[in-house]
Chain A
Amino acid sequence: MQDWPLWEVFIRSRRGLAHKHVGSLHACDAPMALANARDIYTRRSEGVSIWVVRSTDIIASAPGDKPILFDPSEDKVYRHPTFYEIPDEVDNL
């Protein structure tokens, strides 16, 4: 028999925080994925809200693309406030 589809689970642990990936599970449809996520990942009030997404629906960047995607930002230090020299006497900047 084939495995049930794989789902990724995201949990908001408290109001005011973003949903965070906590793991994955198998379920044959969305309501079952939610029910299983509740049982597997929130047995000790770890969450106030759950998202489940089919793993196949997630588009991920490849680790090999890391230099192309992220290296260019490393030489753009002027994007950070510490790049600019401001005299000590000047406040609120």
Chain B
Amino acid sequence: MYSQFVDTGVERMRCAEELPELERAFQDKIDSDIKIEPKDWMPEAYRQTLVRQISQHAHSEIVGMLPEGNWLTRAPSLRRKLILLAKVQDEAGHGLYLYSAAETLGASREALIEALHAGKAKYSSIFNYPTLSWADVGAIGWLVDGAALINQIPLCRCSYGPYARAMVRICKEESFHQRQGYEIMLALCAGSAVQKRMAQDALDRWWWPSLMMFGPPDAESIHTQQAMRWKIKRHTNDELRQKFVDQSVPQADYLELTLPDPALKRNEQTGHYDFGAIDWSEFWSVLKGDGPCNRQRIATRRQAYDEGRWVREAALAYGAKQDRRRAEFS
């Protein structure tokens, strides 16, 4: 998802008797749904897994502003422009809540951002696709924010207090994002034939990458088992992906758009929609840096950061000067 592949550093699950005493007490707390707070003792692997996951999530929010930012100056009306500005500003806020949560674990903001800019940190594959038309803004809100919500709602119950609290705030804001996107699709689908084609084209391009947002199948993965035991993760990637497909099909039907998957079909036995095979080679290549926009995204981030450096340094110097003055006069 926003953190599609998180290494827990664990090679083998241990049973309760094998855990050292401190770790057993820690696991007992988690088992009885007691939240872990920043100053509590925690296993190093738990701390590192969280830093990895939360920072990947934060980077996704920040890089995620870029595809939509592309349309801020070209929104079709003042109303749409205001809405998109508010949404993009929310995403910046989401990034900041999450960086703050990561910092409670001892990570430095500066170091996290440097890792992103050096290409060492991951962020969601979805933000490496281009936004070619206005309909893409609709498809992103509807599908990408919709998929994000499905993933993030269970994270509101995550065992780590600061992360869970950040997710509660984020989920509250996210539902407007999804609805404004769907409303754009509604308007386009009720418009001219050209507008309807734009909407279908955007759906065709965003559907599969949206399914990939949930990450590769992971029910068997040791990292998933460990993350679930720590209550950092509550559902497998495939469970969440299925939920997303099931909720999206009727939404697409209402728009009278066709999901680009000939294998998509309701399974009467399970009550779920079966869908076609996902091209995981595309996913891995995007995650490794070879998607359509990876280089451009990082270059844009780096440029903004480098060109803002003098402002940050000046503000810091000014703050230090004020502190000195206050000390002199008191």
Q: Could you list which residues of chain A lie within 8 angstroms of chain B, going by C-beta atoms?
A: 1-6, 23-29, 32, 39-40, 43-44, 60, 62-63
Contacts and interface: CB of A to CB of B under 8 A. Distances in A.
B315 A4 contact: yes
Contacts of B110: 1-3
B309 interface: yes
B103 interface: yes
Contacts of B320: 28
B316 A23 contact: no
Contact of B93 (A3, A27, A43): A43
Contacts of A1: 110, 309, 312-313, 316
A24 B100 contact: yes
Contacts of B323: 29
Nearest to A46: B169
Contacts of A44: 173
Given A2-B110, A4-B312, 5 more contacts: A3-B108, A3-B110, A25-B100, A43-B86, A62-B39
B234 to A, nearest CB: 23
Interface in B215-253: none
B41 interface: yes
A85 B315 CA distance: 64
Interface string B163-179: 00110000001000000
21 contacts: A1-B110, A1-B316, A2-B110, A3-B109, A4-B312, A23-B97, A25-B100, A26-B109, A28-B316, A28-B318, A29-B319, A29-B323, A32-B315, A32-B319, A40-B96, A40-B97, A43-B86, A43-B93, A62-B39, A63-B37, A63-B41
A29 B318 contact: yes
Name the 8 nearest CB pairs between A and B, nearest first.
Answer: A28-B319, A29-B319, A28-B315, A24-B100, A28-B316, A3-B110, A63-B39, A63-B40
Interface of B: 37, 39-41, 86, 89-90, 93, 96-97, 100, 103-104, 108-110, 165-166, 173, 309, 312-313, 315-316, 318-320, 322-323
A4 B89 CA distance: 21
A67 to B, nearest CB: 13
Nearest to B166: A23
A44 B316 CA distance: 29
**B interface majority secondary structure:** helix
A31 B232 CA distance: 36
A68 B246 CA distance: 53
A34 to B, nearest CB: 13
Nearest to B41: A63
Interface centre among A26, A28, A60, A62 (most CB of B within 10 A): A28
A63 to B, nearest CB: 5
Nearest to B93: A40
Nearest to A4: B316
A28 B315 CA distance: 6
Contacts of A29: 315, 318-319, 322-323
Nearest to A55: B103
Contact of A6 (B90, B103, B166, B315): B103
A36 to B, nearest CB: 9
Contacts of B108: 3
A8 to B, nearest CB: 10
Interface centre among B40, B41, B93, B100 (most CB of A within 10 A): B100
A63 B29 CA distance: 14
B28 to A, nearest CB: 15
Contacts of B41: 63
Nearest to B110: A3
Nearest to A33: B319
Contacts of A24: 100, 103-104
Contacts of B173: 43-44
B316 A2 contact: yes
Contacts of B90: 43
